[in-house]
Structure 1
Amino acid sequence: MNTTLRYWKEAATLILLAGVKNKHTNSLLKKQQTIHLIESCSHSEVFDYKTLLLQRSQQSGFMPNAYVFPGGLFESCDFSTDWLDVFRSFSELPNFGLGVVMQPLSSRPPIFATDRKKFGSAVPGEVAFRICAIRETFEEAGILIAVPSSNNKAYDGGIAKLIAYDPSELAVWRQRVQNDPTNFARMCKELNCMPNIWALYEWSNWLTPSTSPNSRRYDTAFFTCCVEELPYTFHDDKEISHFKWSSPVDALTSFRNKEIWIAPPQFYEMSRLCHFSSLSNLHHFCQQRSLEGCERWMAHIIKTSDGFFHILPGDELYSEDPNFTGEQLKMTTEKTSEELLNISKKIHRIGVQGLHNFVIHVNIEPKYKHFHPITRNNSETSENNVLHSSKL
């Protein structure tokens, strides 16, 4: 665990995607799947999977009432040597059999590039991040992503199948882990299982923008995980007040209809998931690009005369030398958002013109074999300043 950080708290979050089966969905997926298919069909009928969103409690100190992906802060126990025993069949393999990311270390986000051995951890960061995401998902939603300890071969690469544990037994362990995160490793030993770190694929890295030196700031690793079917889910009524399984398009529709609120990173990632209506295709994509790496994203805020822009890396207005440690001051312009867009050539930004009015504008090529989001303005595909794949 990196104890030297002054400005950031390291965290991990999980975009959990679960299959849903029905005959109508399967028949739709056999047709040509373009953006027009989504616009002409019931949203819930097009996607054969849903993703988990959790509503933060009203008392939360960070984004109260917002819907987020499960996740939270790293704990020292995520780097504990206890995990060497839990993963004893894999502890001698590089990154416990996860593979080695091809991205050059010089361009790797610090959360991934930092050598954890210098902080006394025998557990690689790539492993500890995933343990954290799995532990937090268990604490917040009661879902345990694990494989039997008897599995002495690395993950086979297929869509994950969850172990069917007794819900009452998991509830007892969940309470223990919530009270003391070190109990997560103890639970795995008792249940003869390992956190299924191999089912989690690196997706992105978001840093909290700040306009005040006293605001909470997080450096968060985002992972995806595809599971075969919707798991039994129960929120903790502490940090989390409600949960919602929803397709990406339905979640964005609920946001636009002011039924839920999601922050810009969740809005961006949900819009990126809209490329895929098939869980199998999405899982294949995650698997294929998981060792490519990702960018470190911290938005710069520009206030226009009628709203805001969250400026992201690659945009011509993004600083060549961003200040990741000091206070970020808002840049301002007297131009409207549309006027600023019209004079820009390289664009990668999220337009904010209200709590439930976000629009993503992007015309640059994504890095590390990733996709940019499919974008919509009031449910219509934007043809200007947008690159997207017609295949979902």
Structure 2
Amino acid sequence: MNVTLTHWREAASLIVAAALRGAQAVLKHSHGSGLEVQTRLPQNTFDYRTLLLQRSPMSSFLPNAHVFPGGLVDAADFSNRWLNVFKSHAQKPNFGLPLVKQDLSTRCPIFLTDRTKFGSLVPGEVAFRICAIRETFEESGILLVVPESCDTNSSQPLTKVADYDHEELARWRLKVQSDPAHFLQMCTELGCMPNIWALHEWGNWLTPAISQNEKKRRYDTAFFICCLEEKPHTIDDQKEITSFKWLTPPEAIELWRAQKIRLAPPQFYELSRMCHFSSLSELHRFNIDRASEGCERWLPVILIASDGFMQLLPGDELYPEEPDWTGEMPILSVDKKREDLRKKDSKLHRIEHQDHQVIVYMNIVPNYKHISPLITDPKDEAHCNSRL
């Protein structure tokens, strides 16, 4: 772990997309209360669902919000004992993960930091994948591992979830929830490895400083994505997570618009990106082809306007040359309306907020061969590059 960080806590999050079998499959969404809502999947539409977990109302960070699985990195994720678990891959650069072509001068510090100076021989790109897999197991019961003898790579087809006895996994899950170090012990005793090759680099979001209280809970989060060949057995933990939903990206956004679920800006933005892909195979191929390009480190900068506020993202013409990384500067504000800040020919990359309405404006080309969010704003499409 990077014990020198003052303003950030490192974390990892995993976007899980799972295929449905049959064009008329019936979905069952758990609501934690024992009730289920069934939605019939129409013909010629999305053939996969994305996992969203509802955080407990008692959570100090994003209470009640629907989020992707994930959480804080633990020292055990960087344990040198993982070298024994990955013994057939540990001698390869990054344990056999594809090399990222991104220039080191622009590489995200969460991946670039030399962990050997903290005593770990596990590269950050490996450890944060271990963290994402462990947290997904803790929060949803989904275990993404492969046999320790498996000769795998990141160009593999859709991932298959390991088939273990549910009762045995439930016992291990309780142990891992009590102490993340048990995840390493579990992999050792089961003779398996976290399937780090099934996770593809997707993004890197930092928490903006919205208020004085939020400054104590700011996260530097690596986002990965994994495509599964079928929807796995999922069960919430009734602790940090109170319920879950498997939804298409458009379904999630429509539920959010109807104020039936709460999405944080990163989830809203990334789900909007996924709306471009109605086919899981297309999404998976995009991930494989794009991940080696790397990604940007995004620190949203809050700008308060007279009729709402916005989160400025890199590339926006109002994004400061030196953003406030420490959260010690006052929040930016202007005495103008949001519309007035969208001038003709402006370079826009922002998430605007007013009451319960959130809109992404983006008219710049994404870096690292990524894809723009599929944007919807029925009142103003002039500044959007596509419409949902």
Query: TM-score higher than 0.5 here?
Result: yes
What is the identity, as a one-letter code, of the residue corresponding to 2:384? V
Could you say if the C-alpha distance between residues 51 and 44 of structure 1 is closer, same or farther in structure 2, counting changes exceeding 3 Å? farther
Which residue identity does 2:123 align to in structure 1? P
Measured in 1, the distance between the counterparts of 2:326 and 2:279 equals: 40
Counterpart in the other structure of 2:126:
127
**Residues 1:317 and 1:292: Cα distance change in structure 2 (over 3 Å):** same
The amino acid across from 2:129 in the alignment is R
Q: TM-score, normalised by structure 1?
A: 0.91
Deviations 1:222-263 (A, max 9, x none): 000000011000010011111111000000000000110001
Q: 1:334 to 1:156 in 2, by over 3 A?
A: closer
What letter is aligned with 1:360? V
Pick closer, same or farther for the CA change 1:362–1:148 going to 2, 3 Å. Answer: same
Structure 2 counterpart SS, 1:16: strand
Letter in 1 for 2:190: L
- Show the counterpart of 1:342: 343
Q: Which has the higher helix share?
A: 1
- Alignment CA distance shift 1:344-1:57 (3 Å): farther
Corresponding residue number in structure 2 for 1:266: 267
Q: How far apart in 2 are the matches of 1:307 and 1:44?
A: 39
| Partner Cα distance (2:192, 2:155) in 1 | 16
> Which runs of no fewer than 5 residues in structure 1 stay unpaired?
26-40
Residues 116 and 42 (structure 1), Cα distance of their counterparts in 2 relative to 1, 3 Å cut: same
Matched residues, percent identical?
Answer: 55
Task: Establish whether residue 361 from structure 1 lines up as the match of residue 361 from structure 2.
Answer: yes
- How does 1:120-269 map onto structure 2 within 5 Å? 120-215=119-214, 216-269=217-270
Residue 34 of structure 1: aligned partner? none
Q: CA deviation at 1:212?
A: 3.6
Task: Report the CA distance shift for 1:303/1:326 in structure 2 as closer, same or farther (over 3 A).
Answer: closer
Moved more, 244-253 or 112-121: 112-121
Answer whether contact 1:375 1:381 (CA < 8 A) is retained: no
What secondary structure is seen at the aligned counterpart in 2 of 1:126? helix
Deviation at 1:303, TM superposition (A): 1.2
Name the CA shift for 1:42/1:166 in 2 (closer, same or farther; >3 Å).
Answer: closer
The residue number in structure 2 matching 1:7 is 7
Q: How many angstroms does 1:214 deviate by?
A: 4.0
Q: Aligned equivalents of 2:79 and 2:43: distance in 1?
A: 42
- Is residue 109 of structure 1 aligned with residue 108 of structure 2? yes
Q: How many angstroms does 1:382 deviate by?
A: 5.5
Report the alpha carbon displacement of residue 191 of structure 1 after superposing the two structures with TM.
Answer: 1.3
| 1:244 counterpart SS class | strand
Cα offset for 1:342?
A: 3.1
Look up the equivalent residue of 1:374 and give its one-letter code. L
2:291 aligns with 290
Secondary structure, in 3 states, of the residue corresponding to 1:107? coil
Q: Over residues 116-162 of structure 1, what are the superposed CA-to-partner deviations in whole Å (9 max), with x where a residue is unaligned?
A: 11111010100000000000000000000011112134355211011
Counterpart for residue 305 of structure 2 = 304
CA distance in 2 between counterparts of 1:230 and 1:381 reads 37
Distance change (3 Å), C-alpha of 1:56 and 1:24: closer
Q: Report the count of equivalent residues.
A: 372
5+ residue gaps in structure 2?
26-39
Q: Give the whole-Å Cα distance in 1 for the aligned partners of 2:349 and 2:155.
A: 36
Residues 268, 156 of structure 1: alpha-carbon distance in 2 compared, 3 angstrom cutoff: closer
State the distance in 2 between where 1:376 and 1:153 align. 39
Q: Distance in 2 between matches of 1:273 and 1:114?
A: 29
Query: Which residue in 2 is equivalent to 1:372?
Result: 372
Say which is worse superposed, 68-77 or 147-156, in terms of deviation: 147-156
1:41-94, CA deviations, whole angstroms, 9 ceiling, x for partnerless residues?
A: 977961100000011101101011011100000000000011111100000000
**Whole-Å Cα distance in 2 between the matches of residues 381 and 339 of structure 1?**
15
1:22: which partner in 2?
Answer: 22
The question of 1:329 aligning with 2:330 is answered yes
Provide the residue aligned with 2:31 in structure 1: none
RMSD, aligned CA: 1.8
**By how many angstroms is 1:18 displaced?**
0.4
